[in-house]
Structure 1
């Protein structure tokens, strides 16, 4: 699992981000002493660092400089400051991205995934084969097969299906799907997402699975699975 170092002094926000990222199987480490960030960085050896700008003792720009002097680890700034110079400064110091508070968690996770993919050539869905509702899903071939037959999906349709079944019985928001597809270089608007989901359902209908992709009005979509199924 990837290790993320979260340099954030707002304890409430730190715990919220940590808990959400842990749901995505990331190991999250906070800072115990904001005067010794580099010592803790060396101990943790994180795969990605998220830094707030306004911190006790030294600001996030200082720690970004210090980290960049020793490591090329990806860095994402997370800040309530909205002045354009802050974003320019973070990029000049070698940060990989900048997210302004308040933010949607779906945007944060999508940017983390995109950064990890780019830096480590990491595919967030490493599994090539998955079963769902008695059907075999082959991610590489973009196909689904069960006793009723085989359907071929487009790249976007398979990506949507992957996100849903990897988080089966959980609602995946429309915003998260759009953002993830966008960061995966599949440029999708809200209307395009609707079209792709409808096409996916139509294809699943031919093998009797359309009803198991449910729409949660005002929230997103969910792929249902019976308890005990893998």
Structure 2
């Protein structure tokens, strides 16, 4: 891959020795490696890192890897590779049924792990990514790849969470119209997650941050008493931008 230097891998492994060795090995190949250190805040670490791939152990403090795999899948389609000492077939079945892409048993060969990482990254983001029927929204150069949950502008791109993608899709589809707060809250609602006004505010803030990461300032306007709309003046001052 030509972009290993900007590919972030998140390691969720409570064996410090294994995590450290994995980190050192992957960094030799140019990956940006983040490690979870507080296992009560795994999703916070995931959201901060915005990884393109996750290495996940099964046996973890607080909750097991199957649980965290399900939580990640609510927000992201990034590849998840389990690394575990459990070698029973049922463990591998459970991992795949909970959303994993592959399962590697310990002890493992570090070169094999690296090869599997490369394979998954090619499949999802690179040469083997399926793009023939891919849905892409384009608003004056800002592109949202809905299935990939990726946004790009020019040469810059970043991953977004599921909820961030839902918000951005709604705003881009309805441009230049304002999308009401109630409409956005309804789109964010699912059977398992309670969504309130604060949740909407937080996710709008996150979308603005993602847009800023790819070089777009003031991309979303707050229309007081109504909702939000896109303001595709990329690079402009955005003088009618109103924050919370």
TM-score when normalising by structure 1: 0.52
Unaligned runs of 5+ in 2: 1-5, 129-244
1:38 Cα offset (Å): 0.4
- Tell me the SS of whatever aligns to 1:43: helix
Inter-CA distance 48–122: structure 2 relative to 1 (3 Å threshold): farther
* C-alpha distance in 2 between matches for 1:122 and 1:65: 27
From the CA coordinates, give the structure whose radius of gyration is larger. 1
Q: Which residue of 1 aligns with 2:124?
A: 119
Aligned: 1:33 with 2:44: no
- Determine which of 85, 89, 100 is the counterpart of 1:84: 89
1:84 Cα offset (Å): 0.6
* C-alpha distance in 1 between matches for 2:16 and 2:111: 20
Count of residue correspondences: 123
- Determine which of 14, 33, 39 is the counterpart of 1:9: 14
Kept in 2, the 8 Å contact 1:3–1:28? The answer is yes
Residue-by-residue CA offset, 1:75-107 (whole Å, 9 max, x unaligned): 000000011111001111111110000011111
Residue-by-residue CA offset, 1:179-201 (whole Å, 9 max, x unaligned): xxxxxxxxxxxxxxxxxxxxxxx
List 4+ stretches of structure 1 deviating above 6 A: none
Aligned: 1:52 with 2:40: no
Q: Which residue of 2 aligns with 1:67?
A: 72
Inter-CA distance 122–5: structure 2 relative to 1 (3 Å threshold): farther
Kept in 2, the 8 Å contact 1:54–1:60? The answer is yes
Aligned: 1:42 with 2:47: yes
- Tell me the SS of whatever aligns to 1:58: coil
Q: Which residue of 1 aligns with 2:102?
A: 97
- Tell me the SS of whatever aligns to 2:99: coil
- Tell me the SS of whatever aligns to 2:75: coil
TM-score when normalising by structure 2: 0.49
Q: Which residue of 1 aligns with 2:191?
A: none
1:32 Cα offset (Å): 2.1
- Tell me the SS of whatever aligns to 1:49: strand
* C-alpha distance in 1 between matches for 2:34 and 2:114: 16
* C-alpha distance in 2 between matches for 1:7 and 1:122: 27
Q: Which residue of 1 aligns with 2:184?
A: none
* C-alpha distance in 2 between matches for 1:115 and 1:69: 19
1:122 Cα offset (Å): 4.6
Aligned: 1:107 with 2:112: yes
* C-alpha distance in 1 between matches for 2:24 and 2:127: 22
Q: Which residue of 2 aligns with 1:216?
A: none
What's the C-alpha RMSD, in Å, of the aligned pairs? 1.1
Aligned: 1:24 with 2:29: yes
Inter-CA distance 49–104: structure 2 relative to 1 (3 Å threshold): same
